[in-house]
Amino acid sequence: MKVNFIMKSPEMALEFVRFSSEFVDDIELKNENISVDGKSILGVLSIGFPVEVEVIFHSDNPIALRLFDAYITKLLNDYEVKQDD
């Protein structure tokens, strides 16, 4: 599963890493030529903000894929609302 979005802030990155760490599957964040572990707060913070990232969730578990997709949707909605306030 691949998803592109803008990682807007360190707070958003921390929330992303906390949730990602719950999965046994590999999660990769890419920005241009940089690729970091999506479960590593230091790796994710090293990309900078705001930055467009591609998230690659390496799983063939349909339940994990649905859960991760729902979480990404919620994360993006939460941070879109926060930005507009």
Q: What is the mean pLDDT of residues 71-83?
A: 84
Q: What is the pLDDT of residue 85?
A: 42
Q: What is the pLDDT of residue 84?
A: 44
pTM: 0.87
Q: What is the mean pLDDT of residues 1-21?
A: 95
CA-wise closest residue to 24 among 58, 1, 56, 72? 58
* pLDDT tens digits, 25-52: 999 999 988 999 999 999 999 999 999 9
Q: What is the pLDDT of residue 22?
A: 94
Contact (CB, 8 A) for 15 and 71: no
Residues in Cβ contact with 69 at an 8 Å cutoff, skipping those fewer than 6 apart: 1, 3
Residues in Cβ contact with 47 at an 8 Å cutoff, skipping those fewer than 6 apart: 7, 29, 31, 34, 36, 53
